[in-house]
C-alpha cells in the first residue's frame, strides 16, 4: 500500500480521501526540515502547501518518493530540477484557489483606493478623521494585469464588472482569449506606462524574477498603485519603497514578500502600504478545494501511475 506524508496544514478532508482511496497516510504538519528528512525515506508521496521546502537534500533522502503534491498553485517551494532528475513527479492544483486569490486582489484594490485599513484603525482609535481619507474611484480607471492565466482572468472578469478598463500583459494570452475576457492585450512597457493600478498574477520563475524592476517601477504613472498577491520576488522591494516614499506611487497592497514570513520590512513603515501575510488562498473554500484536489490527484497517480 503506498504511503503518503502530509507535512503541512492541509484540510482534514485530504486525509480522509487518501484513506478512502486505500492509501496509508500520516498527517504531520509542523515538522522541522531535519525531522522530515529523517522520515521521508518511508514514503511514496509527499503532500505540502508552502511551508515545507522540498529541497534537493530532501529529495535525495527519499528513495521511495514518486510524487510531490502541492496543495496550491506556486511550486517555487519545490526543487523541480532535482525532483525531475530523480523521476519524482511534481503536481499542483492550478484551479482550486484561483477565485479566492483573485478576490483577495480585488479586496486589496478597494483597500488601497479607499485607505480602508488606515481609516479603520483611526476610527477605532476614536479619531473620526473624516477629512483625512480622500479616496479614488475605480470606475473608469485602467487596471494592468501582469499575467492573465487562471487568477488574472478572474480578476479581469471582476474588474470589468466594476467598469474598469482592463489591459493585460501575458505572453501566453492569445488575441482570441483576450477578446473573450474583455481585456486589451498589450506589451509590458505599454502596460507600465498606461495603468492606474497594476496587479501581478504571474508565477515566480527565472524569467519573471524582478519583473517589476526599479526601472519599471519608476516608469509607472505618477500616482499609480501596485497590488501583489502573486510572489514577492516579482518586485524590486527597495525600489518600491523609494517610489512610495517619494510619492511617485500613491500606494501598494502587498500580500507576498521576497522573504517570508515577513516580520520586518521598511515597507511596513509607510502609511500608503496595505499588507497581509500571504492570505491570497486563505479561505475555507479554497483550502478545501486544494486539499481535495491534491489528494485525488496523488491517489490516482500512486494507485494507477496515471
Is 260 among the residues known to form the active site?
yes
Does residue 280 bind ligand MLT (CB under 6 A)?
Answer: yes
Instruction: Judge whether 233 and 258 are in contact, CB under 8 Å.
Output: yes
The least distance separating ligand MLT from the CB of residue 122, rounded to whole angstroms, comes to 31
The least distance separating ligand MLT from the CB of residue 81, rounded to whole angstroms, comes to 19
Instruction: Judge whether 69 and 46 are in contact, CB under 8 Å.
Output: yes
How many chain residues bind ligand MLT (CB under 6 A)?
Answer: 8
- 45-48 sheet: strands from edge to edge: 24-27, 3-6, 45-48, 67-70, 89-91
The nearer residue to ligand MLT, 142 or 293, going by C-beta atoms, is 293
CA–CA distance, 104 with 68 (Å, rounded to integer): 27
The least distance separating ligand MLT from the CB of residue 242, rounded to whole angstroms, comes to 26
Measure Cα distances from 238 to 206, 212, 217, 241 in Å. Answer: 19, 11, 11, 5
The least distance separating ligand MLT from the CB of residue 281, rounded to whole angstroms, comes to 3
The nearer residue to ligand MLT, 73 or 302, going by C-beta atoms, is 73
Residues sharing a CB contact under 8 Å with residue 43, sequence separation 6 or more, in sequence order: 3, 4, 5, 26, 62, 64, 65
Is 158 among the residues known to form the active site?
no
The nearer residue to ligand MLT, 7 or 97, going by C-beta atoms, is 97
The nearer residue to ligand MLT, 49 or 185, going by C-beta atoms, is 49
Q: Which of 231, 237, 242, 296 is catalytic?
A: 231
The nearer residue to ligand MLT, 186 or 254, going by C-beta atoms, is 254
Residues sharing a CB contact under 8 Å with residue 105, sequence separation 6 or more, in sequence order: 151, 155, 199, 201, 227, 229, 280
The least distance separating ligand MLT from the CB of residue 73, rounded to whole angstroms, comes to 4
Please provide the size of the chain in residues. Answer: 306
Nearest to 62 by CA among 43, 47, 81, 80: 43
Instruction: Judge whether 25 and 6 are in contact, CB under 8 Å.
Output: yes
| Binding track over 66-105 against ligand MLT, x by CB under 6 A | ------xxx----------------------x--------
Q: Which of 35, 180, 215, 260 is catalytic?
A: 260
Q: Please name the residue ranges forming H helices in 195-277.
A: 214-219, 237-245
Measure Cα distances from 228 to 41, 42, 133, 148, 190 in Å. Answer: 37, 39, 23, 14, 19
Does residue 165 bind ligand MLT (CB under 6 A)?
Answer: no
The nearer residue to ligand MLT, 49 or 216, going by C-beta atoms, is 49
- For ligand MLT, which residue has the nearest CB? 72
Does residue 50 bind ligand MLT (CB under 6 A)?
Answer: yes
Which residue, chain included where needed, has cell 511534481?
Answer: 90
Task: Kindly tell me which residue out of 49, 165, 185, 225 binds ligand MLT, with binding defined by CB under 6 A.
Answer: 49
Nearest to 142 by CA among 98, 104, 109: 109
Is 231 among the residues known to form the active site?
yes
Task: Kindly tell me which residue out of 102, 145, 281, 302 binds ligand MLT, with binding defined by CB under 6 A.
Answer: 281
Q: Which residues are catalytic?
A: 231, 260, 278
By CB under 6 A, name the binding residues for ligand MLT: 49-50, 72-74, 97, 280-281
Amino acid at each position: 500500500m503506498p504511503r503518503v506524508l502530509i507535512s503541512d496544514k492541509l484540510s482534514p478532508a485530504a486525509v480522509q480521501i487518501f484513506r478512502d482511496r486505500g492509501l496509508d497516510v500520516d498527517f504531520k504538519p509542523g515538522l522541522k526540515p531535519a525531522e522530515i528528512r529523517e522520515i521521508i525515506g518511508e514514503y511514496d508521496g509527499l503532500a505540502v502547501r508552502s511551508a515545507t521546502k522540498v529541497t534537493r537534500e530532501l529529495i535525495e533522502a527519499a528513495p521511495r518518493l514518486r510524487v510531490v503534491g502541492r496543495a496550491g498553485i506556486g511550486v517555487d517551494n519545490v526543487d523541480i530540477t532535482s525532483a525531475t532528475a530523480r523521476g519524482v513527479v511534481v503536481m499542483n492544483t492550478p484551479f482550486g484557489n484561483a477565485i479566492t486569490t483573485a478576490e483577495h486582489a480585488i479586496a486589496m484594490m478597494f483597500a488601497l483606493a479607499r485607505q480602508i485599513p488606515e481609516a479603520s484603525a483611526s476610527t477605532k482609535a476614536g479619531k473620526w478623521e473624516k477629512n483625512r481619507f480622500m479616496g479614488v474611484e475605480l470606475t473608469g480607471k485602467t487596471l494592468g494585469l501582469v499575467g492573465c492565466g487562471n487568477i488574472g482572468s478572474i480578476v479581469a472578469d471582476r474588474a470589468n464588472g466594476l467598469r474598469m478598463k482592463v489591459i493585460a500583459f501575458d505572453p501566453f494570452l492569445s488575441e482570441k482569449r483576450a477578446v473573450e475576457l474583455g481585456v486589451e492585450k498589450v506589451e509590458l512597457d505599454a502596460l507600465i506606462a498606461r495603468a492606474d493600478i497594476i496587479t501581478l498574477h504571474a508565477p515566480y520563475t527565472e524569467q519573471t524574477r524582478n519583473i517589476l524592476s526599479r526601472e519599471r517601477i519608476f516608469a509607472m504613472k505618477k500616482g499609480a498603485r501596485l497590488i501583489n498577491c502573486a510572489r514577492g520576488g516579482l518586485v524590486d522591494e527597495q525600489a518600491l519603497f523609494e517610489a512610495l516614499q517619494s510619492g511617485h506611487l500613491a500606494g501598494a497592497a502587498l500580500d507576498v514578500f521576497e522573504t517570508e514570513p515577513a516580520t520586518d520590512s521598511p515597507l511596513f513603515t509607510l502609511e500608503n502600504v496595505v499588507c497581509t501575510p500571504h492570505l491570497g488562498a486563505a479561505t475555507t473554500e479554497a483550502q478545501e478545494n486544494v486539499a481535495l484536489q491534491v489528494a485525488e490527484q496523488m491517489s490516482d497517480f500512486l494507485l494507477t501511475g496515471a
